[in-house]
Amino acid sequence: MQGYEGSSHQYDHVLDRKIAVRMRDGVTLYLDVYRPALKGHALEGAWPVVVERTPYDKDRQSYSITGRYFAQRGYIFVVQDVRGRGASEGEFEFLRNEADDGFDTMKWISEQTWCGEKVGTMGISYTTATQQALAVRNPPRLATQVLFDGPYNYHSQTMRHGGACEYGIAFQYVVRMARTGKEAEADPRIRRQLDTMWTELTRWMIHLPLRQGESPLRATPNYEQWFFDMLTKSDYQDYWKTPGLAIEEYYDDYPDIPLLLETSWYGHHITATLAKFAELKKRHRTPKKLLIGTWLHGGDMFTQTFAGDVEFGGDAAMPDNNSLRLRWCDEYLKGLKTGLGDEAPVRLFVMGGGSGRRDLQGRMVHGGKWRDEQEWPLARACYTSFYMQPGGRLLTDRAPAGGVPSRYDFDPANPVPTVGGNFTNYGTTGFLEGGGYDQKSGTMSGDNSPSLPLALRRDVLVFRTPPLEAGVEVTGVVTCRLWVSSSAVDTDFTVKLIDEYPSSNDYPNGYALNLGDSILRMRYREGRDKAVLMEPGEVYEIVIKLQATSNWFAPGHCIRLDVSSSNFPHYDINPNTGEPLGLNRCTQAARQTLYHDAVRATCVELPIIPA
């Protein structure tokens, strides 16, 4: 690259450990500082600073690698344990203290002799949320942020979703965090109990909902309360509206600074990242760059070429976790010419176009390629309605007048199992594994049933196009408009978009690749603020938005949409009784009806990119 001025490895580093920083309420948080050095001595003077605030232990190897990497290239790197985690004092409350604690930490950093005129922050997931929370307090010297796959509203996605609880994510995450909390660190007995619970998560899913005080989580009261708050506070109330939990509420307060946003089609926070990019682009003048890949959620996964059971090819992987972040910081903290300003603001990976064969690792080769774009959503997308028809067809023509509705029974005791999706594997293989998979039972989630296509289930309605004569690219948010009724006062409807491969030598029964899914708990059909139960038998028009995707459906494939009422354990199971969520004692089966006729035109709207 002509005129490239990026930083190179020029220095050694020294580490100043466990420096105390006092918060406004007297609680002390601890941080480590990685500094450029030569011959074992820190170099004097002011340097650009990069900050990450974490609940995952500042001493872990990944932070050490990042700290050394940046210090050796002329930055101060600061990593801090958030309140109540690691070395820091206080009580941990999930994303409730990060705005004020973040501001106080940034203020302290700005007062240090080694702090230059510009400070940046970086992170992923929770440590993206900590960045966002401190940003709306407008701390001194904040000049840029690197926001990898982080939230915009935990009530709307990741902890809750469409009125349901993302149970599989919330439950395993709380247990994981409790295992490394203060109580577990202080008492080996508590740690052993939680370690055992971690290895037996599927057993704790047999009798749901979990009762407060009836699991090893009772030994860690703050973590247990956090979980039950997420499970039972289903109305969108003030509890959720903090800068840490819902940055969506604070867009107008966000400083106009350059932002690098990263997410992935199978990441936790694809919807959140795209919403932040679009909303902040409207409000700001400074550069915003968006990168969308294929990875699962997690920093070490950016270097992988696969997600779940699906391989996307060597180009899908990033070379490492730090080189892109360094280029961004060089450009906006050091003012160096890195070429970022000449690049397109959006770079995304279009999935599909691979051989469809099984590779040597046993994964299906779906393939794909990177492409630059000038905006998100794509202005040239043609939003095209495909109508669900009697008999399971999916066509661009409306269903005929008098089309017979489709019906099925949803039994909470026999939910549709989760098979892949937008989440990561925290080390609990067999419980919840993210990414793309052939949609068959017996694949994961502690599901010991026979390996059979989910399409065979009586409670899964399948709608598919005829085999495509020409390839079709879908890039954007997928929206479903359903006309439904139920015999219950409350129930769920789920939708799933699938790229259905034809039969092949490697996959004689074809391969049904999940691309995105979503759910609506019907008591929240009128909005997230307040629950309103249904009238049994009354017909409702509902809208369910799936997360965005970018996929090329090859010739011979079918575009498929599955409609059902459960996807467990990703989402908690609706008992169909209308009881307070997370506290029910009863369940009942519900008779569900999906209407598809000329008047009640149930459809899916696909953002198709012209060839």
pLDDT digits (tens, 9 = 90+) for 173-200: 999 999 999 999 999 999 999 999 999 9
pLDDT digits (tens, 9 = 90+) for 85-97: 999 999 999 999 9
User: Using 50, 70 and 90 to split pLDDT, how confident is the model at 302?
Assistant: confident
In this structure, the answer to whether residues 491 and 599 fall within a common structural domain is yes
Domain limit, last residue, from 235, 261, 290: 235
Q: Which two tokens stand for residue 14?
A: 């020294």
Per-residue confidence (pLDDT) for residue 244, from 0 to 100: 97
Residue tagged 């935990």 (tokens): 154
Q: Which of 53-62, 257-266, 373-382, 438-447 has the lowest mean pLDDT?
A: 438-447
Per-residue confidence (pLDDT) for residue 1, from 0 to 100: 53
Phi, psi of 77, deg, nearest 5: -115, 125
In this structure, the answer to whether residues 488 and 514 fall within a common structural domain is yes
In this structure, the answer to whether residues 143 and 277 fall within a common structural domain is yes
Per-residue confidence (pLDDT) for residue 449, from 0 to 100: 77
CA distance 31 to 495: 45
Domain limit, last residue, from 263, 278, 299: 299
pLDDT digits (tens, 9 = 90+) for 103-124: 999 999 999 999 999 999 999 9
Domain limit, last residue, from 215, 235, 255: 235
CA distance 431 to 167: 12
In this structure, the answer to whether residues 34 and 172 fall within a common structural domain is no
CA nearest neighbour of 291 among 250, 251, 248, 347: 347
How are beta strands 394-395 and 382-388 bridged, if at all? Answer: antiparallel
Question: Is 70 exceeded by the pLDDT of residue 430?
Answer: no
Per-residue confidence (pLDDT) for residue 55, from 0 to 100: 98
Q: Give 197's contacts (C-beta < 8 A, 6+ positions apart).
A: 175, 204, 215, 216, 217
Give the whole-number percent of the chain exceeding pLDDT 90: 91
CA 249 to chain centre: 19
Query: What's the whole-number average pLDDT of the chain?
Result: 95
Per-residue confidence (pLDDT) for residue 301, from 0 to 100: 79
If you average pLDDT over residues 466-489, what whole number do you get?
Answer: 98
In this structure, the answer to whether residues 527 and 602 fall within a common structural domain is yes
User: Using 50, 70 and 90 to split pLDDT, how confident is the model at 429?
Assistant: low
Residue 498 · residue 562 · CB < 8 Å: yes
Per-residue confidence (pLDDT) for residue 425, from 0 to 100: 73
200 occurs within a structural domain: yes
User: Using 50, 70 and 90 to split pLDDT, how confident is the model at 442?
Assistant: confident
Residue 496 · residue 394 · CB < 8 Å: no
281 occurs within a structural domain: yes
In this structure, the answer to whether residues 142 and 39 fall within a common structural domain is yes
In this structure, the answer to whether residues 250 and 230 fall within a common structural domain is no
Q: Which two tokens stand for residue 6?
A: 């990026």
Number of separate domains in the chain:
3
CA distance 463 to 562: 6
User: Using 50, 70 and 90 to split pLDDT, how confident is the model at 428?
Assistant: low
Dihedral (C-alpha) 534, 229, 129, 30: value to the nearest 10 degrees? 180
CA distance 389 to 398: 8
What is the phi-psi region of residue 602: left when phi exceeds 0, alpha when psi lies from -120 to 50, beta otherwise? beta
Q: Which two tokens stand for residue 509?
A: 């029964």
pLDDT digits (tens, 9 = 90+) for 142-173: 999 999 999 999 999 999 999 999 999 999 99
Instruction: Give the other-Cβ count within 10 Å of 80's Cβ.
Output: 29
DSSP code of residue 228:
H
Question: Is 60 exceeded by the pLDDT of residue 544?
Answer: yes
Helix (H) or strand (E) holding 408: strand 406-410
Domain holding 486, by residue range, is: 382-415+453-576+587-609
CA nearest neighbour of 123 among 99, 146, 94, 97: 146
How are beta strands 558-564 and 461-464 bridged, if at all? Answer: antiparallel
Per-residue confidence (pLDDT) for residue 518, from 0 to 100: 98
Residue 8 · residue 334 · CB < 8 Å: no
CA distance 123 to 390: 48
CA distance 159 to 245: 10
Q: Which two tokens stand for residue 396?
A: 């661009």
Q: Which two tokens stand for residue 437?
A: 């998979």
Give the whole-number percent of the chain exceeding pLDDT 70: 98
In this structure, the answer to whether residues 151 and 166 fall within a common structural domain is no
Phi, psi of 146, deg, nearest 5: -115, 105
221 occurs within a structural domain: yes
Residue 272's alpha-carbon distances to 154, 269, 460, in angstroms, are 9, 5, 28
CA nearest neighbour of 607 among 292, 385, 396: 385
Instruction: Give the other-Cβ count within 10 Å of 322's Cβ.
Output: 17
In this structure, the answer to whether residues 189 and 92 fall within a common structural domain is no
User: Using 50, 70 and 90 to split pLDDT, how confident is the model at 341?
Assistant: confident
Dihedral (C-alpha) 443, 449, 455, 461: value to the nearest 10 degrees? -120
CATH value at residue 46: 3.40.50.1820
265 occurs within a structural domain: yes
CATH value at residue 599: 2.60.120.260
pLDDT digits (tens, 9 = 90+) for 369-399: 999 999 999 999 999 999 999 999 999 999 9
Q: Which segments within 66-140 are labelled E, that is strand?
A: 76-81, 115-124
What is the phi-psi region of residue 421: left when phi exceeds 0, alpha when psi lies from -120 to 50, beta otherwise? left
Per-residue confidence (pLDDT) for residue 297, from 0 to 100: 84
Question: Is 90 exceeded by the pLDDT of residue 70?
Answer: yes
Q: Which two tokens stand for residue 382?
A: 């043609």
Residue 431 · residue 444 · CB < 8 Å: yes
Question: Is 80 exceeded by the pLDDT of residue 299?
Answer: no
191 occurs within a structural domain: yes
228 occurs within a structural domain: yes
447 occurs within a structural domain: no
Per-residue confidence (pLDDT) for residue 33, from 0 to 100: 98
Per-residue confidence (pLDDT) for residue 444, from 0 to 100: 64
In this structure, the answer to whether residues 32 and 150 fall within a common structural domain is yes
In this structure, the answer to whether residues 60 and 179 fall within a common structural domain is no
375 occurs within a structural domain: no
Residue 42's alpha-carbon distances to 45, 65, 79, 156, in angstroms, are 10, 18, 17, 46
pLDDT digits (tens, 9 = 90+) for 257-282: 999 999 999 998 999 999 999 999 99
If you average pLDDT over residues 579-602, what whole number do you get?
Answer: 96
In this structure, the answer to whether residues 143 and 179 fall within a common structural domain is no
